Amino acid sequence: MKMVRLTEKSRKDITAQLLKRSPDSYEGYEERVREILQNVRQNRDKAVFEYTKKFDQVDLDSQTIRVSREEIQEAYNAVDPELLGVIRRSYANIRSYHEKQRRTSWFDSTPEGTLLGQKVTPLGTVGVYVPGGSAALCSSVLMNIVPAKVTGVERIVMATPPAKDGRVPATSLVAACEAGADEIYKVGGAQAIAALAYGTESIPKVDKIVGPGNIYVALAKKAVYGTVGIDSIAGPSEILVLADESANAHYVAADLLSQAEHDQMASAILITTSEDLAKKVQDEIEGYLKSLSRAEIIRKSLEQYGFILLADTMEDAIETANQIASEHLEIVTQNPFEVMMKIKNAGAIFIGEHSSEPLGDYFAGPNHVLPTNGTAKFFSPLSVDDFVKKSSIIYYSRNALRKAKDDIIAFADAETLTAHANSIRVRFENEAE
């Protein structure tokens, strides 16, 4: 990791370096993604099957693209009972947390004859994308499906790429069934996003697509936004640890590496007021790398996007953390709750030395689908709000409208929208002035 003295210039340079990881910087991939989307939109199942053969080396047809009940049963048989218990306990925590986020419709009436309100309605069909690759992220299955289920979404459709043997990882299937997926399809990449957005003979069109993925998935979600809703454009994972001299270097180093192992574009940053801690963390990282299974990925990640920033004051450190707006933020200081109150921008905040980031990834309950690349300044974690839509309710009696009509007409006339004014005026044209 690069050790840098925190200044205004170094803060701007590092922020610019991190933003290079944004999907907005992937122009070279956009044309290829557009081709895939257009092909699937026009040729539907045929295009999906061709791309699955090309990218995943799996032959599928309309009979095999959907995961069968037999495959699900085989998955349950394959998953260790102890792991199944872990998945169920994690599911219970995630469900309990998201149930507290539920919103209800509300209505407010007055004696004057008005009723205003908001009607909250679950989405009809949601598509959940689950990435494949080198790690089967069954935790992402739970995090994306559970809030949709809690909200009452009618139909939850999961898409995930098959392995070369044509199967979906058993843990992903089990997690999906435990969480409440209604249908599971063996398709990945931009072609999966296209199928969910436009529909094919085998895969239903959905109202919204959620879930992380690679560059192709991120750009495909961006391209279909408007045809369907999306949660966000996810970038590479990131962690920022805010620490002072009281922090345990052994723990801090371990937590930084927990995100750096995701991929070579992941970011791991330590901001500290203690140069002694900074040096100890560097030593600890080297020690860990001798035994970690994804050490090569971690090294490349740290070379490009790993920083230790030395701050003169905790106020400078906090200001920088708010500017970076990290996906995951750990606070390991003498007064972590006091520091937490000064944090404005972060996807998830972990407080104290025993609240390490993987706690949120797997088990605590809050969602681990979080804003990245500085978007925590204006985006929030995935929640039940992502799976409902809200309708405004307006009712006025004749007497209530009579009291408001002159104001409405005046407003419409001021905007020279005479048909608007007329819509109100005609309701009282037979009344004496």
Using an 8 Å Cβ cutoff, are 157 and 181 in contact?
Answer: yes
Dist. CA 168–CA 80, nearest whole Å:
16
Using an 8 Å Cβ cutoff, are 257 and 285 in contact?
Answer: yes
Catalytic residue list contains 327: yes
Using an 8 Å Cβ cutoff, are 329 and 346 in contact?
Answer: yes
Catalytic residue list contains 328: yes
Which of 275, 235, 219, 227 is closest to 33 using CA atoms? 219
Write down the residue that tokens 């004051």 correspond to.
313
- List, edge to edge, every strand of the sheet that includes 155-160: 183-186, 155-160, 125-129, 208-210, 229-230
Dist. CA 83–CA 430, nearest whole Å:
75
Dist. CA 433–CA 428, nearest whole Å:
9
Element of type H or E holding 201: none
Which of 12, 20, 14, 33 is closest to 265 using CA atoms? 20
The string over 91-130, giving b where at least 16 C-beta atoms fall within 10 Å of a residue's C-beta and e elsewhere, is: bebbbebbeeeeeeeeeeeeeeebeeeeebebbebbbbbb
Write down the residue that tokens 């109202």 correspond to.
207
Looking at 98, 262, 328, 368, which residue is catalytic? Answer: 328
Using an 8 Å Cβ cutoff, are 235 and 414 in contact?
Answer: no
Looking at 327, 330, 353, 357, which residue is catalytic? Answer: 327
Six-digit token string for 29: 């991939």
- For the annotated catalytic residues, the residue numbers are 327-328
